[in-house]
Structure 1
């Protein structure tokens, strides 16, 4: 891995002081019993003074809700956008990725648990204002900024401010999210986003309740909202866990629902699980399981079904749904081929490929680069 890079821009404003990490939060109301209720996500945490929600970062301070992590991050990294994963959004380009701490779900298999389940503010070692993040992305020649590692739903106000600062510089904003959010904040949030990858963690309520401490329907509602009510480009990821959500019946139901409710052109990524956090007893996902899931999705009419977290040139590439030509060849995060024309159409037959494409692919490649933002 390349050494840590330090990004400095003389024209930037100074870093916010530590107290600036606490800002008023939106979407809450007072209850008759003296508590206040957070209305940001379907957990509806009800708090006495000094208490925090399950997400850890939204708290009651006297008679208001506050976000306690504004302007602070667990770290910044330049990644290939395919790592989010997004295969139809500015392929080959670099994205500046960052997260904060906490999460509003409690997935037992979380592969970023040291960040999403952190209860230590010291985890947030890197500080940056929205303007600084947008400037850093420009300096690093990133086409987009991604809110990732933990769910941006819980740092709603910070994510929106960063997205607005980026938009002023022509930089896109990407939400990597579980989609577990209430309707009103969801509508506000996605007015500021350009792309999203939504984790559809399984297709049973039992899995969501037992493994994630959440519910399935709010996530389905978010996906339908994105498709019907926004112009946000979005893709879906399902991490297949052996014995938990990888049965043929469940994959049939999941892919049929996507086809019926979202249509054939929403990309779906089936990705490989590796043992982590509270699911160390589960084996890694076999590549054959991912291939089988991809075949089921294609059989049910989905045009862009991918395998991820494995080397699979066929399952990782984009194929023309009309003539079968390889439009974008990939091996993991490396682009191997590009046969789209300047308008995102197949050069062989002229069929458009849905997505957000530039005339030429980016050349960032598969590498990642840790960066430290500083004054």
Structure 2
């Protein structure tokens, strides 16, 4: 009789779940600094699947669930099947933690990988404004309103607590899990891993996203494999910033929050470390040979920036027609839509004669300093922040 009732309940129409309200409740819980329960995360995933929400939304719900500690092993077979091919795999295929990582009293130096030099000769520098003064901040916003070129807000975040409080140990404590983009070397190219050619094995992606614990990530920054299973390890990390860390960043300089669904012109907010960005205007995109929209590397450029300088004078001139921005902690960079950009981590001031470094690394030959790890934030259109 119990079996009969159970079967009937499955055949009966199930009440529809208000996915929007459920996701809003989850966002409020996370913003308050609390972790969302496993059952609530599972309910949200099942609701998204049953209501046929878009792939990007489903991906983002799973991304937040990972941060709160949900693992593939926690999913029922139906949910796991719906996520297959849409979400990154675990760094360990079993979903188990790779290493018993513990905070070290004397952390090992950060690993380093030298970047290949670029042949590009920037034509100029990005306009920058001293935003430590009110008049400089006003002038910077006027320049952003013009919408015709990148604008560097120099020092706008100089008083952020994050500039002092964000360390690798605090990351390991605050981030249960995150998505890590990995590549074979220090240069990384983003790839659409959900593309049919990638999923079928016909196209070998230059980078992949894996999920791992925050402590595991920090350990690999310092120890490399250290006996752990090998990963394609690269220089670009993209994890949702935990609310506990975001409390140390003040966005009071923004006149208004970026509207949902809008590709914000706010590129990055630098918190730790130094970076260099090169930016090309939208009018040069064709000359830079972007991949087709249906390619796994869509929105990336085919023109290599390393190696020998192109013999084609017109092509070389297009590469040189970029603007350069040297970014330090507390700086914010805005740039218009459809501007191409290249980012690389550089040595801290006073060490730049040594050249550029991999973005996830400091110099192994130098004495390890916590500020050698580069941290930046980017707005995402759903109101979250990428770290």
Structure 1 length normalisation: TM-score? Answer: 0.28
More strand by percentage:
1
Larger radius of gyration: 2
Given the two structures, how large is their TM-score scaled by the length of structure 2? 0.28
